Copies of this chain bind each other. A is one copy, B any other.
Amino acid sequence: MSENASAERTGFREVKEDIVSRIKNRTWGPGELLPGEVELSRQFGCARATVNRAMRELAEEGVLERKRKAGTRVVQNPVRHARFEIPIVRHEVEASGAEYRYALVKREVLTPPDWLQARMGVNSADRVIHVQCMHYSGNSPYQFEDRWINIAAVPKVEQADFTSTSPNEWLVNEVPLSKAEISFSASSASDEVARFLELKSGEPVFVAERATWLEELPITYARMSFPESYRLVSSL
Contacts and interface: CB of A to CB of B under 8 A. Distances in A.
A59 interface: no
A176 B91 contact: no
Contacts of A235: 179-182
Contacts of A181: 233-236
A228 interface: yes
A77 B91 contact: yes
A204 B188 contact: yes
Interface residues of A, number: 52
State the number of copies, please: 2
A64 B186 CA distance: 33
Interface stretch (A78-86, A113-121, A151-159): A78-86
A99 interface: no
B187 A82 contact: no
Contact of A179 (B23, B30, B202, B236): B236
A83 B83 contact: yes
Given A186-B186, A204-B187, A206-B186, A78 B228 contact: no
Contact of A228 (B74, B182, B186, B226): B186
Interface of A: 20, 23-24, 26, 29-30, 63, 74, 77-88, 91, 172-173, 176-177, 179-188, 202-207, 214-215, 226, 228, 230-236
18 contacts: A29-B176, A77-B91, A78-B176, A78-B177, A79-B86, A79-B91, A80-B180, A82-B86, A179-B235, A181-B234, A182-B234, A185-B228, A186-B186, A186-B226, A186-B230, A187-B204, A204-B204, A204-B205
- By Cβ-Cβ distance, the 9 closest A-B pairs, closest first, are A204-B204, A186-B186, A186-B206, A186-B204, A80-B86, A184-B232, A183-B233, A185-B231, A181-B235
